Amino acid sequence: MSIYDNELAIDCILLAGRIMMESGAETYRVEDTMLRMAHSQNMENSQSYVTPTGIIFSLGRTQPTRITSISTRVTDLHKIALVNNVSRKLTSHIITLEQAYDELQKIQKTNYFLPILLQVLAASIASSCFIILFNGSWLDVPAVFVAGGVGLYVVTIVHAKTRVKFFSEFLAALVIGIIAFLAVKFEVGQDLDRIIIGGVMPLVPGLLMTNAVRDLMAGHFMAGIGKGVEAFLTAFAIGAGIALVLSF
Amino acid sequence: MEIFIQLGLSFVATACFGVIFNAPIKAIPWCGIVGALGWTIYSLLSQNGVYEVHASFLGAFVVAIVAHIYARSFRVPMIVFSVSGIIPLVPGGIAYNAMRHIVEVDYLTGMEYGMRAFLISGAIAMGLVFAEVMMQLMFRFMNRGRTSIQSFVKEKKATKLK
């Protein structure tokens, strides 16, 4: 195994870990995937240490060790599935290391998200369904349709502009609260509480919460607590935005 | 009739969450099925007088088991199915009520609601983890059985060749 091969392997494995972590995969699964990829390349002594904000990966005693930092975290299940696919192919020796690295680079550059309008529409429909599931009345559906869609739109746009997650969620919750308040005031909707609950459902940190507990159970206490704090901050931001509207 | 409306709506809602979380397009309808099953079990149980924490636990348990089966058959990570599947079970309404009472300076009721939300989300997480551990044990057991049979067959062939 030459130095070049080692460098390529470490780049490839780190990139895979980084894409998975940035797309919101569980920490223990990222570690597992990285080690599997390394073992398939006959690197038995490799070690990986994954946290939500950075990855440290080493190939062994006399080999290089590399760090990569992770600054953004979104929920992108498509990328996780794609990286998983590449690692599966690499570990069963269907593709070589060079091909895997090329594929991973392509995955990292491509934006797999569906158009924002489709996402907003999905959020609207999901919110409307939830208000009926939570025993709301069909009369509130138009108001919650608007509130859910606008909420997701605000969170996406503000996050793209400011890069502060807490602030974008706070603002989105505030907008949802105002829409619900106006809807009740102008008698488009009836039940303020249920409109707000339905509207904030697309913002709920469901992925973070489940990942936090699963990482804790897998023994990754740093990652579990980190993600738990992120989930708590998100919930707190939503709560603060709604509370501001309710307190008037 | 009521149950079919619930099934359909929870299917649509969970599939929409699949779109928001950007699940692979082929997997989105299956995400919907996972969520609909979880929600239907939760709502059936809680309508028949089961305590909400236990109902959430069982709902999440079913979500995780179905997600695991789909993940095995589609060869994608389990997270694709389980994340959108548990969204209908998340106690959004109770958490909202907790905050609303705290804003209205009714701390006692607020704490009560907050505790309920905390317990339910803990139950969901426990359900997911329990199901995952159980499925892993089961698959390991099944695989062990198969490999031992295969090795048995191999040995037989080897002896025949000798």
| Residue-wise pLDDT tens digits, B57-87 | 999 999 999 999 998 888 888 888 888 888 8
Which of A114, A133, A152 comes nearest B9 by C-beta?
A133
The ipTM of this complex is 0.85
Taking contacts as CB-CB distances below 8 angstroms, the residues of chain B near A213 are 122, 125-126, 128-129
In the predicted model, what is the mean pLDDT of chain A?
87
Say yes or no to pLDDT of B152 above 60: no
Domain ranges of chain B: 2-161
DSSP A55-90: EEEE--SSS-EEEEE-------HHHHHHHHHHHHHH
Q: What type of residue sits at position B93?
A: G
Q: Tell me the pLDDT band of B37, cut-offs 50, 70 and 90.
A: very high
In the predicted model, what is the mean pLDDT of chain B?
84
pLDDT at B95: 83
Nearest-angstrom CA–CA distance, A6 and A21 = 22
pLDDT at B145: 56
Domain ranges of chain A: 3-109, 116-246
Looking at chain A, which residue has its C-alpha nearest residue B124?
A210
| Residue-wise pLDDT tens digits, B100-112 | 888 888 899 999 9
Q: Tell me the pLDDT band of A20, cut-offs 50, 70 and 90.
A: very high
Which of A25, A79, A132 comes nearest B9 by C-beta?
A132
Q: Which of A137-141, A168-172, B105-109 has the lowest mean pLDDT?
A: A137-141
C-alpha dist (Å) from residue B88 to A96, A223, B25: 42, 25, 20
| Residue-wise pLDDT tens digits, A78-100 | 999 999 989 988 888 888 888 88
pLDDT at A201: 87
Segment A148-156 shows an average pLDDT of: 91
C-alpha dist (Å) from residue B98 to A131, A144, A234, B81, B86: 18, 21, 16, 29, 21
Do residues B68 and B78 make contact, with C-beta atoms less than 8 angstroms apart?
A: yes
Test A113 with B87 for CB contact under 8 angstroms: no
| Residue-wise pLDDT tens digits, A23-42 | 888 888 898 899 888 888 88
